[in-house]
Structure 1
Amino acid sequence: MALHDAELIQRTLEGDESAFGFLVDKYKGSVHALAYRKLGDFHTAEEITQDTFLKAYQKLSTLKDPGRFPGWLYVIAARCCISWLRRNRVQVESFDNVKREMSAQSWTKYADARLREEVHNALESLPESERTVLTLYYMVGMTCEEIGRFIGTSCGAIRDRLYRARIRLKEELTMIEETLGGFQLPPTLTQEIMRQIPNGSLNPTPTTGKPLAPWIVATCLTVVVLLIGLGIKQATTFQLPYSFNALESATMVEIVDAPIIEMPPVKFLQVNRVGG
């Protein structure tokens, strides 16, 4: 799985945009579920999903280990959610008010929205680590191994979190499973993301100028000169450690309180030199 991602990433960096489309298809459900878990809104999560993949595409050349692409993508998605929350203050309207103003809405839509709110509230009662695992498991259908690779946690830890979450929400589990499993991303989401991606290769243009050896030598000489100058400056400062004119940043002798011990006067013995 990691090797397959690495191949797709390499092809993307070489200019094959269709390869990145495969990555989008593969991970869009996971990213969307994470965004929904953090923001609580299905359509806003779609926007976050698009932003996440656009940022991932732009920064793909900075990914040092392609095998860690799922976890790297998770971090980008989480940061996009944080940025969205900073820009927007979500105001949840009471369903009692909605019910009074629902003349133009059908009862089915109202009941569906009410069910989603109940599921959201049930998930909010869980610790965040368990809430994320439960959402990815039921909303996307990810395995424990896939979830662990996505959020950077061992498969055993994922199983433990899933088990604890199921125990906590034993009564609501069927409702949660049916509701999260009913979410369907629009089939055109991948095409919409790819449409916003600029054309061109992401691979940095290789340097074709002069060889690097002279530049390296010049840089090393510059560093040596700076170090010599710094050493002379420090040596000059330490020559006068008790001077009031020394730099404040220079190393000074720390003065500490110590008991004063009175020493008895020293008596010098007079020695008579023989033959003197």
Structure 2
Amino acid sequence: MANNADQQLIQQTLNGDSRAFAQLVEKYQEYVFTIVIRMLKVREEAEEVAQDIFIKVYESLSSFKGESKFSTWLYRIAYRKALDQIRKNKNRVQAFELMEELTEDKHVLASNPSEVMEEQERNQRIKQCIHQLGHTEAALITFFYFDELSIKEIASITELSEDNVKVKLHRSRKKLYDLMKRQAVLSENLRNHGQTI
């Protein structure tokens, strides 16, 4: 079922209150952009697609029946729009830029400056590794680990079976782990090389 606060904003929007829709956009724009940038890899393009997603959501809002959470319905639209854009770009070489910060780490409030720096470096490494994943892999990792969606919700968004989501998520996680391990070894080698110079 849709979240009551979201449902209320949806109803107000359908009744013509544009401020209510602005609140929905404000609440979900960061989540939508994170999914899109991880799939498309190019910031300017991701910003345009994210705007298109909210236009599509506004136009389709009356079709939202509240059978799932609003966020699940919204992520499904975002995922499809990003896939559409990827298909359009199929024959074009994309310029890769650094991704948006994964998420602000609200759980770690380190008082020690070296801990803060280590945390920032770790987030940067994770971000770079996710950037190397394929668009579907990046989306699955984001949905499961950063948006904390269930397998069932991810299946609904991606239109994959739950078993297929589990298999793809397992492979994506392993690929991400291998990339991170490789990057850690490379960083260590560079650090050691720097000390011997």
TM range (shorter): 0.5 to 0.7
Q: CA deviation at 1:75?
A: 3.0
Between stretches 60-69 and 48-57, larger displacement belongs to 60-69
Distance change in 2, residues 1:120/1:93 (3 Å): same
Aligned to 2:147: 142
| Correspondences of 1:99-138 after superposition (within 5 Å) | 119=129, 122-124=132-134, 128=136, 130-136=137-143
Aligned to 1:53: 54
Q: 1:91 aligns with which of 90, 93, 118?
A: 93
Q: Number of aligned residue pairs: give it.
A: 149
Which is richer in helix?
2
Aligned to 1:71: 72
Aligned to 1:14: 15
Q: CA deviation at 1:50?
A: 0.6
Amino acid at match of 1:13: L
Q: CA deviation at 1:43?
A: 2.4
Distance in 2, matches of 1:164 and 1:29, equals: 26
Counterpart contact for 2:76–2:156, Cα < 8 Å: no
1:168 aligns with 2:140: no
Amino acid at match of 1:142: D
Distance in 2, matches of 1:4 and 1:32, equals: 22
Deviations 1:16-36 (CA, angstroms, capped at 9, x unpaired): 222212221222223222222
Counterpart contact for 1:144–1:158, Cα < 8 Å: no
Deviations 1:1-51 (CA, angstroms, capped at 9, x unpaired): 622221111111112222212221222223222222332212211111110
Q: CA deviation at 1:171?
A: 4.2
Amino acid at match of 2:147: M
Q: CA deviation at 1:163?
A: 5.7
Deviations 1:179-237 (CA, angstroms, capped at 9, x unpaired): xxxxxxxxxxxxxxxxxxxxxxxxxxxxxxxxxxxxxxxxxxxxxxxxxxxxxxxxxxx
* Identity %, equivalent residues: 32
Counterpart contact for 1:9–1:66, Cα < 8 Å: no
SS of aligned partner of 2:133 = helix
Distance change in 2, residues 1:30/1:157 (3 Å): farther
Q: TM-score, normalised by structure 2?
A: 0.56
Distance in 2, matches of 1:5 and 1:155, equals: 26
SS of aligned partner of 1:64 = coil
Distance in 1, matches of 2:84 and 2:95, equals: 22
Aligned to 2:24: 23
- The structure number with the bigger radius of gyration is 1
1:40 aligns with 2:44: no
Distance in 2, matches of 1:74 and 1:13, equals: 20
Distance in 1, matches of 2:86 and 2:50, equals: 14
Q: CA deviation at 1:159?
A: 7.9
Q: TM-score, normalised by structure 1?
A: 0.42
